[in-house]
Structure 1
Amino acid sequence: MRNAVEFVVYGDYALFTDPLTKLGGEKLSYQVPTYQSIKGICESIYWKPTLIMIVDAIRVMKPIRMESKGIRPIDYSGGNTLANYTYLRDVEYQVQAHFEFNKHRPDLEFDRNENKHHNILKRSVQAGGRRDIFLGTRECQGYVEPCEFGQGTGFYDDYGDIYLGNMVHGINYPDETGRDQMEVRLWQPVMKDGIITFRRPEECTQVRHLSEMKPKPFDADNVQSADQLLASWGEGGDQ
């Protein structure tokens, strides 16, 4: 696939919070990552407002296991609250993704150098990401390495279909949709032999309006182009 990248992300714990469990002040992880959480990992590896990261599929490599912990959340009123958070334990996912140019950002057309962005993205994966990697929440540190999607043995190979119920797919932001509002997408994923193939955001039919929002302005004054970025690394301009 054009502008594709493949990597493995892993960590000791993950918390992809089911929002329904937050009403009582506690958190329970989904069994698998959401599209938005993996997209966030892709953007931690390499992010530019010029690009939109599209997650194509993930492969669940290890068995789904959970562990509950007593957590003292920050209580600004001075209380002594104890909450129960249920994490995924010992997780590993292979990820297949690609980027496309954000057509809702004509102000960043100067930065649409496909080849250079792809080279920077692949180099950023090899470096483990340009920013810290988190598996759903900040206390769950993740690590990224290049891989070949489908390589190796996964726990759910030849396992069949697992229906995961109604889940959050992700968030629509105005700079990616052209609409001045924030929306949430829902869907019903099926894991087939350990692989979840994601719908594209615009293919999700269950969309709920959350709030009004305006896109953040970007232009040549506050965005460094791919050419400038490579030049700052001391790289040649023809890569």
Structure 2
Amino acid sequence: MGFGIKLKVWGDYACFTRPEMKVERVSYDVITPSAARGILEAIHWKPAIRWVVDRIHVLNPIIFENIRRNEVESKASPRKEAIYAAEERQQRASMVLRNVAYIIEAHFEMTDRQGAEDSPEKHYNIFLRRARQGQCFHRPYFGTREFPVSFELIEDSEALPESPLQGTTDLGYMLYDQDFRLNDKGEVQEITPYFFRAQMVDGRISIPGPLEVFR
């Protein structure tokens, strides 16, 4: 295992969309491992490292709220470089989470793309410095960009706050991550989703390793 970190993240709203919902967005009960990894990568990521989420602590009660949001019908692509929002705007209902807060426990591993100047200590210290100063490459978000994330580093000497969610809760099958396979032109050719059975015990979810998930 590589160097471990603990990061507290929170925000007013979140939407970790269930992939089986095709039209209206419906969020998972809690943040997914892939969304948590995306937050860490927004703070510090290089090809030399790969973030692995170990545990997620849910700090607030799970509250759903039904809202309506304006979305566009299509996505930008090399074939469609411009989107005219006024012509493609659609109003859709979304079941989102309100007043969310989590602690992400994670570590990073070195990849085969590391160079001579890369070392675990270097990237660990870079992440600590950036997290302490509130720096990020882009503002992390909870599922969609209109739900920004606030974050702060939890130092090793700090005790983790206790979750109000006690007991064991079966959260069902949850998205673990997605594998993107590219063609010779660098375009996404195939997307393979991976899932795991999420169990929350006293507000804590242990994330399995990549060999323990399924598609």
**What is the TM-score normalised by the length of structure 2?**
0.83
**TM-aligned CA distance change 1:150 to 1:20, over 3 Å:** farther
Letter in 2 for 1:37: A
CA contact (8 A) 1:190 1:196 kept: yes
Comparing both structures, which one devotes a greater share of its residues to strand?
A: 2
- Tell me how many residue pairs correspond in the alignment: 195
SS at match of 2:149: strand
* Deviation digits for residues 113-162 of structure 1 (CA, Å, limit 9, x no counterpart): 11111100111111224121101110101111012586223211xx1110
Structure 1: how far apart are the matches of 2:3 and 2:170?
Answer: 30
* Deviation digits for residues 202-229 of structure 1 (CA, Å, limit 9, x no counterpart): 331x13xxxxxxxxxxxxxxxxxxxxxx
Alignment counterpart, residue 200 of structure 1, candidates 181, 184, 209: 209
Where structure 1 has 5 or more consecutive residues not aligned to the other structure, the ranges are 208-239
1:80 to partner: Cα distance: 5.9
Q: Which residue of 2 aligns with 1:151?
A: 160
**TM-aligned CA distance change 1:58 to 1:79, over 3 Å:** closer
Comparing both structures, which one devotes a greater share of its residues to helix?
A: 1
Letter in 2 for 1:189: A
1:173 to partner: Cα distance: 4.4
Pair 1:87-2:96 in alignment:
yes
1:79 to partner: Cα distance: 5.7
Q: Which residue of 2 aligns with 1:63?
A: 61
Q: Which residue of 1 aligns with 2:185?
A: none
CA contact (8 A) 1:11 1:140 kept: yes
SS at match of 2:20: helix
CA contact (8 A) 2:2 2:120 kept: no
CA contact (8 A) 2:15 2:97 kept: yes
* Runs of 4+ with >3 A deviation: none
| Structure 2 counterparts to residues 138-177 of structure 1, below 5 A | 138-147=145-154, 151-156=160-165, 159-173=166-180
| Structure 2 counterparts to residues 47-126 of structure 1, below 5 A | 47-75=45-73, 78=87, 81-103=90-112, 105=113, 108-126=114-132
Q: Which residue of 2 aligns with 1:127?
A: 133
Structure 1: how far apart are the matches of 2:159 and 2:209?
Answer: 21
CA contact (8 A) 2:72 2:89 kept: no
Q: Which residue of 2 aligns with 1:18?
A: 18
1:54 to partner: Cα distance: 0.6
Q: % of aligned pairs identical?
A: 31
SS at match of 1:55: strand
CA contact (8 A) 1:11 1:141 kept: yes
1:166 to partner: Cα distance: 1.3
Q: Which residue of 2 aligns with 1:228?
A: none
Letter in 1 for 2:148: Q
1:182 to partner: Cα distance: 4.2
**TM-aligned CA distance change 1:53 to 1:171, over 3 Å:** same
**TM-aligned CA distance change 1:173 to 1:101, over 3 Å:** farther
Q: Which residue of 2 aligns with 1:236?
A: none
Letter in 2 for 1:53: W
Structure 1: how far apart are the matches of 2:134 and 2:54?
Answer: 20
Q: Which residue of 2 aligns with 1:226?
A: none
Structure 2: how far apart are the matches of 1:9 and 1:88?
Answer: 14
RMSD: 2.2
